[in-house]
Structure 1
Amino acid sequence: MHLRRRRLATVLVAAGVVLAACGGPVEVDVPDLSGADREACEAFAAELPESLAEQMRVDIEPADAPAAAYGDPAIVVRCGVPTPDGFDLTASCETANGVGYFIPDEQYDDQGLDLTLTAAGYEPRVEISIPATYRPNAGPAAMAVLAPLIKAHFTLVDDCA
């Protein structure tokens, strides 16, 4: 009887490993960047933490993209994104550790929507895409952790407050 349980446990563990490997790397869009922006984004990406909002870092494709992904479904951090739709000098932002993040209006109140945070006042810009399953806590956690890196690597051009 114990041998049967041990075999079943071995089969279940092996199946879990196979299923975990089926997801593969998270595909990220790579923006077209100038030489200086690419350099800044690569330096930023090299310092991104191993975990974000209690999710561990996972592989991305392409592996050399100035980005990172965390968890499943993946929280994705991308560098060098364009100005987000709806962002202008009158847009309001949420601030964490001195960095303002633009959030599209419709995402503020509907916790069932995926969340897109953009450090829109900095160049190059950083975007954090957070699946709705991680709301409400992942947004503030990611903003606070990434703020010092954003301030260290990028230039503030518009105060998003």
Structure 2
Amino acid sequence: MSLTHFRRRPGPARVRGVAASAAFPTLATLSLLLSACSSTPEIASADLGTEDQQACEQLVDALPATLNDLEQVDVEPADALGAAWGDPAIVLTCGVALPDDYDPFSTCDDVNGVGWFAPPDSLEEDAQDEQVTVTAVSYRPLIQLVVPADYRPDGVSAALTDLTEAVKSTLRLEQPCT
């Protein structure tokens, strides 16, 4: 009997090695695949006046390193007027406009003295598996927080609570939440 008779896999050894390497990605490829799964959050820049620009910069500097027990992550651009925490990321943007569905008669929820507006349909029981966008409507400039569905329902209130000190110490109160 020859040694080729005892091979477990068919085909020449050279082909088996190529097939095996194609089946198992290298560490570099695996790293690239994993990094593609989590992307750096992008924060849109707003055209703000000098006073609002400075207030947003102060807010960003005052934001907590953790939000809802999630570590702060890098954002694009690096000098964005906002921040992000976790993966999927909870994203805060400073200097946003009032939401389209907000009007002077909309209700807002007071979280430690900061009034937040959430679209009424996002609070419905069947919307708990969707991301929610809340806007601090009592302070200027306005800030918006996008919370992925992964952190609902308790993560929204925990994140808003964690932001209270930074908001109150850097932004100006214009209209308390009623």
**Interval containing the TM-score (normalised by the shorter chain):** 0.7 to 0.9
Identify, as 1 or 2, the structure richer in strand.
1
- Larger of the two Rg values belongs to structure: 2
- Percent identity at matched positions? 38
User: Residue type of the partner of 1:123?
Assistant: R
Structure 1 counterpart of 2:157, from 110, 125, 140: 140
Alignment of structure 1 residues 14-53 onto 2, 5 Å: 17-22=31-36, 23-53=38-68
Unaligned runs of 5+ in 1: 1-10
Unaligned runs of 5+ in 2: 1-24
Structure 2 counterpart of 1:55, from 70, 91, 113: 70
SS for the counterpart of 2:102 is coil
Change (3 A) 1:72 1:88: same
Count of matched residue pairs: 151
TM-score (norm 1): 0.85
How far does residue 65 in structure 1 lie from its aligned partner after superposition? 0.6
Alignment of structure 1 residues 1-161 onto 2, 5 Å: 17-22=31-36, 23-109=38-124, 110-161=127-178
How far does residue 99 in structure 1 lie from its aligned partner after superposition? 0.9
Change (3 A) 1:115 1:24: closer
TM-score (norm 2): 0.77
User: Residue type of the partner of 1:153?
Assistant: T
